């Protein structure tokens, strides 16, 4: 049996010693599962994503992605792991302004040969796959693909970011409030498109938002409480 | 590889500010290398203010002082050399030629030099260049004069015109030798040496204009006319100094020693190259100051580079977070910014050298004519390469500052975009 996508075991994290921002006793997310992470501002949602991405390591406890313990990897290996297995969508400003839409979507393949190979295993070229993803996310006009990213609407930019996160079929997609700048209609459309495509690829999704209205679209919701005091056991 | 093409695309996106930065660096590099080139050339040309002459002989003073008054016509000799001693040394078997120098008179603020035809044959300046006549020829007759380029230009003298030469220095000599006018027979091309500001006549002419003078006072009553002067023996009794060309360089030191030990009067023989080098080292401070200023200009250019890179860094903090989320390593972000600085510096240096060469090509004739400097468009000298390498290294070091900040951001920001 495949190992779960995400396993957390008595995880604790503090940016500064003594002041924990995050405490998660136990969490297991299956592959292909879609998890909604909800919590108030400052509850440590973004911090959790940094831990998942391997940019920081837990102060206490364990975090395993795809069976791989993050602490056991060195900094370089964690960067490599992130490049190979994770797709990230930010709240805003996801795209490099000096690249075209298409070039932005192709970016992950520059940083990960694993993802490049995965694309080439099922598509005839990297560009074909990028175009396919853009079309799946309803960015269908070819004219749009070559555009400067600054000429896109916010909603379009977020969909390009989603296409980039999906490029090369990473096992896990993490999204940090990607819909907070969108109106309700485009928000729903964005989430639907993203989840649809992830379902198609069997991708695990970790979607962070303070917006509880989105929760029903996900398999499960994790509510992060603001940690007040370090727990004394 | 990915980072490299990203760096280039990112730079292209900021082409405007990048071009300005490159231009700033280019101008500072142009100045630095230009100053260095002029400095080197000035030193070489100075060291060759007088070339081909093996010894300068004068009354015993300091070597710099002898050089100053004999070659640069600055100051006056405190003592003269007897004509007999001059003839004796000129007759030495190792001596090929001699050029007598009789100084002390002036014409409307310009020095008058009494010398012979060998002056025009053997005098060499600025890397072995001969004196060239822009018009006319050397003096032949007693009352003929050859003018330096600046003298002719400033006084507006033409060939064939007459000039009155006064005894003593300065423009306002209260008595002038107005009874013996000289005819202009030659005008020299510019040399950018003191010769440009000099009038040249024969030693006999100097003697002739002093006939009716004694101890600096005009003898009353018995003024000697030009025609009467021709009748007299005009061999000078003294001269200021003389230049010696030897048959073989090998004998330079032995002749120098025997002149320094000359028994009949205290004489001194100096090696022009050595004396010129010593004089140059006295002026080295100004030269160093020039270099220091141009180095400061390079630093201000690099400060501009730093400002631009740091200024764009805040905006690029997002870019850093995005690249980081894609798996870019912190050192890759450091090298992204450092590479940018290195590239801008390199482009600046290349452009600066191009501008310099263009400038040299355009101003070459002016430099040659007005400063006597022969600037060439040539590959950078070893020293210039070192300067360019130092500029490049400084550019890279400058890039490390924003690079280091990018590195820090990449670690501190985690998986969030901070604005
Ligand atoms: N890079 C950092 N360095 C130090 N402290 C940090 C850093 N990032 C976050 N923190 C702190 O950790 C706590 C949790 O922050 P985090 O960004 O994870 O919250 P969040 O749940 O994402 O909030 P929001 O909904 O406002 O984005 C906050 O108190 C914050 O000040
Ligand atoms: Mg957050």
Last residue in a domain, options B223, B241, B270: B270
The pLDDT value given to residue B172? 42
**Does residue B419 form part of some domain?**
no
**Banded model confidence at residue B346, pLDDT cuts 50, 70, 90:** very high
Contacts of A98 in chain B (CB under 8 A): 9-10, 12-14
The answer to whether residues B202 and B300 belong to one domain is: no
Q: Give the global pTM.
A: 0.74
The pLDDT value given to residue B39? 83
The answer to whether residues B40 and B79 belong to one domain is: no
**Banded model confidence at residue A232, pLDDT cuts 50, 70, 90:** very low
Distance, CA of B164 to CA of B189 (rounded, Å): 22
Bridge-partner residues for A63, per DSSP? A8
**Does residue B382 form part of some domain?**
yes
**A20-37 pLDDT, tens digit each:** 888 888 889 999 999 999
How many structural domains compose chain B?
A: 2
CA distance, residue A109 to nearest chain B CA (Å): 9
The answer to whether residues B243 and B389 belong to one domain is: no
- Asked whether the beta carbons of B133 and B187 are under 8 A apart, the reply is yes
Q: Which residue among A13, A23, A40, A46 is best mutated to probe the pocket of ligand 1, counting the most ligand atoms within 8 A of its Cβ?
A: A46
**Does residue A79 form part of some domain?**
yes
Cβ of A21 closer than 6 Å to ligand 1, yes or no, is yes
Do the chains contact at B416 and A90, CB–CB below 8 Å?
yes
- Asked whether the beta carbons of B133 and B189 are under 8 A apart, the reply is yes
**Does residue B255 form part of some domain?**
yes
**Does residue A232 form part of some domain?**
no
**A166-214 pLDDT, tens digit each:** 999 899 999 998 888 888 888 888 899 899 989 988 999 999 988 888 8
**Does residue A23 form part of some domain?**
no
Find the length of chain B.
Answer: 419
Do the chains contact at B12 and A95, CB–CB below 8 Å?
no
B319 → chain A, closest CA residue:
A96
A116-130, B2-16, B162-176, B302-316: least confidently modelled range: B162-176
**Does residue B169 form part of some domain?**
yes
Q: What is the CATH number of the domain that holds A146?
A: 3.40.50.300
**Does residue B279 form part of some domain?**
no
pLDDT at B333 over 90: no
The residue range of the domain holding A130 is 32-57+75-223
**Does residue B38 form part of some domain?**
yes
pLDDT at B115 over 60: yes
The residue range of the domain holding B344 is 2-46+284-413
**Does residue A95 form part of some domain?**
yes
Alpha-helical segments (H) within B202-241: 203-209, 226-231
Tell me which residue of A30, A35, A33, A28 sits closest to A11, measured CA to CA. A28
Distance, CA of B91 to CA of B406 (rounded, Å): 80
**B83-104 pLDDT, tens digit each:** 999 999 999 999 999 999 999 8
Contacts of A90 in chain B (CB under 8 A): 321-322, 325, 416-417
Tell me which residue of A36, A16, A8 sits closest to A212, measured CA to CA. A36
Last residue in a domain, options B245, B270, B295: B270
**Does residue A4 form part of some domain?**
no
The answer to whether residues B86 and B164 belong to one domain is: yes
Residue B211, φ and ψ in degrees, nearest 5: -55, -45
Cβ of residue B328 closer than 8 Å to a chain A Cβ: yes
The mean of the pLDDT values for chain A is: 87
**Does residue A13 form part of some domain?**
no
- On the 0-12 / 13-18 / 19+ scale of CB atoms within 10 A, A3 is middle
The pLDDT value given to residue B180? 66
Q: Look at A227 and B399; give whichever has higher pLDDT.
A: B399
**Does residue A18 form part of some domain?**
no
**B285-325 pLDDT, tens digit each:** 887 888 888 888 888 888 888 888 888 887 788 888 888 88
Do the chains contact at A107 and B10, CB–CB below 8 Å?
no
- Asked whether the beta carbons of B137 and B200 are under 8 A apart, the reply is no
The pLDDT value given to residue A117? 93
Residue B377, φ and ψ in degrees, nearest 5: -85, 100
Do the chains contact at A93 and B2, CB–CB below 8 Å?
no
pLDDT at B186 over 90: yes
The answer to whether residues B70 and B188 belong to one domain is: yes
**A107-164 pLDDT, tens digit each:** 999 889 999 999 999 889 999 999 999 998 888 888 888 888 888 888 889 889 999 9
Q: What is the per-residue DSSP string for A49-80? A: HHHHTTSS--SEEEEEETTEESTTS-HHHHHH
Nearest CA to ligand 1 atom 3: A15
The answer to whether residues B142 and B262 belong to one domain is: yes
C-alpha distances in angstroms, B115 versus A40, A54, B101, B142, B198? 101, 90, 5, 12, 12
Could you tell me how far CA A227 lies from the centroid of its own chain?
24
Interface mutation target, options A22, A42, A55, A126, chain B, most CBs of B under 10 Å: A55
CA distance, residue A61 to nearest chain B CA (Å): 19
Helix (H, G, I), strand (E, B) or coil at B385: helix
Distance, CA of B215 to CA of B202 (rounded, Å): 21
The answer to whether residues B220 and B362 belong to one domain is: no
Q: How much is the average pLDDT of B124-140?
A: 85
Question: Cα(B149) to centroid of ligand 1, in Å?
Answer: 80
Do the chains contact at A110 and B9, CB–CB below 8 Å?
no
pLDDT at B407 over 90: no
**A86-121 pLDDT, tens digit each:** 999 988 888 888 899 999 999 999 889 999 999 999
How many structural domains compose chain A?
A: 1
**Does residue A212 form part of some domain?**
yes
Bridge-partner residues for A26, per DSSP? A9
The token duo for B316 is: 């690029």
Cβ of A52 closer than 6 Å to ligand 1, yes or no, is no
Cβ of residue B314 closer than 8 Å to a chain A Cβ: no
Last residue in a domain, options B270, B294, B310: B270
The answer to whether residues B238 and B175 belong to one domain is: yes
The answer to whether residues B91 and B147 belong to one domain is: yes
**Does residue B418 form part of some domain?**
no
Highest-confidence segment of A171-175, B60-64, B414-418: A171-175
């Amino acid at each position: 049996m495949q190992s779960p996508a995400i396993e957390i075991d008595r995880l604790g994290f503090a940016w500064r010693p003594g002041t924990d921002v995050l405490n998660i006793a136990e969490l297991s997310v299956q592959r292909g599962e879609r998890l909604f992470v909800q919590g108030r501002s400052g509850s440590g949602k973004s911090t959790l994503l940094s831990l998942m991405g391997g940019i920081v390591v837990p102060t206490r406890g364990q975090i395993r992605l795809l069976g791989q313990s993050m602490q056991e990897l060195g900094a370089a290996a964690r960067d490599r792991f992130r490049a190979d297995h994770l797709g990230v969508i930010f709240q805003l400003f996801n795209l490099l302004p000096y690249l075209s839409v298409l070039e932005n979507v192709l970016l992950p393949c520059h940083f990960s040969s694993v993802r490049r190979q995965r694309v080439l295993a099922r598509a005839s070229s990297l560009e074909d796959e990028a175009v396919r993803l853009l079309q799946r996310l309803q960015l269908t006009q070819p004219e749009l693909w070559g555009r400067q990213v600054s000429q896109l609407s916010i909603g379009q930019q977020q969909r390009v970011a989603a296409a980039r996160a999906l490029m090369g079929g990473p096992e896990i997609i993490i999204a940090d409030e990607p819909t907070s700048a969108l109106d309700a209609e485009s928000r729903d459309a964005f989430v639907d498109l993203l989840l649809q495509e992830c379902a198609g690829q069997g991708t695990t999704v970790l979607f962070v938002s303070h917006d509880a209205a989105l929760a029903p679209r996900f398999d499960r919701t994790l509510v992060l409480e603001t940690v007040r005091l370090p727990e004394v056991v | 590889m990915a980072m490299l093409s990203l760096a280039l695309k990112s730079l292209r996106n900021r082409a405007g500010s990048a071009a300005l930065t490159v231009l700033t660096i280019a101008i500072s590099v142009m100045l630095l290398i230009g100053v260095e080139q002029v400095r080197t050339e000035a030193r070489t040309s100075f060291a060759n203010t007088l070339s081909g002459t093996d010894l300068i002989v004068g009354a015993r003073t300091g070597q710099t002082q002898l050089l100053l008054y004999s070659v640069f016509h600055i100051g006056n000799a405190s003592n003269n050399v007897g004509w007999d001693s001059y003839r004796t040394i000129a007759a030495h078997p190792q001596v090929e030629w001699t050029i007598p120098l009789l100084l002390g008179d002036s014409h409307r603020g310009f020095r008058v030099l009494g010398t012979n035809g060998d002056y025009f044959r053997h005098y060499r300046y600025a890397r072995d260049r001969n004196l060239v006549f822009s018009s006319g020829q050397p003096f032949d007759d007693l009352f003929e004069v050859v003018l330096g380029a600046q003298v002719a230009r400033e006084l507006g003298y033409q060939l064939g015109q007459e000039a009155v030469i006064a005894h003593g220095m300065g423009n306002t000599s209260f008595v002038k030798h107005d009874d013996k006018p000289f005819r202009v027979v030659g005008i020299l091309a510019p040399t950018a040496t003191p010769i440009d500001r000099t009038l040249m006549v024969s030693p006999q002419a100097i003697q002739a204009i002093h006939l009716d003078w004694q101890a600096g006072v005009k003898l009353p009553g018995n003024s000697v006319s030009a025609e009467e002067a021709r009748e007299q023996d005009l061999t000078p009794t003294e001269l200021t100094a003389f230049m010696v060309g030897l048959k073989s360089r090998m004998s330079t030191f032995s002749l120098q020693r025997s002149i320094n030990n000359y028994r009949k009067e205290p004489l001194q023989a100096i090696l022009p190259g050595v004396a010129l080098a010593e004089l140059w080292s006295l002026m080295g401070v100004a030269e160093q100051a020039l270099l220091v200023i141009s180095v400061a200009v390079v630093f201000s250019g690099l400060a501009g580079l730093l400002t631009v890179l740091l200024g764009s860094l805040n905006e690029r903090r997002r870019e850093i977070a995005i690249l980081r989320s894609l798996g870019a390593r912190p050192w890759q972000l450091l090298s992204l910014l450092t590479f940018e600085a290195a590239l801008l510096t390199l482009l600046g240096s290349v452009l600066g050298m191009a501008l310099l060469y263009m400038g040299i090509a355009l101003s070459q004739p002016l430099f040659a004519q007005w400063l006597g400097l022969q600037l060439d468009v040539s590959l950078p000298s070893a020293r210039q390469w070192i300067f360019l390498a130092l500029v490049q290294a400084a550019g890279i070091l400058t890039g490390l500052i924003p690079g280091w900040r990018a590195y820090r951001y990449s670690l501190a920001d985690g998986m969030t975009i901070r604005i």
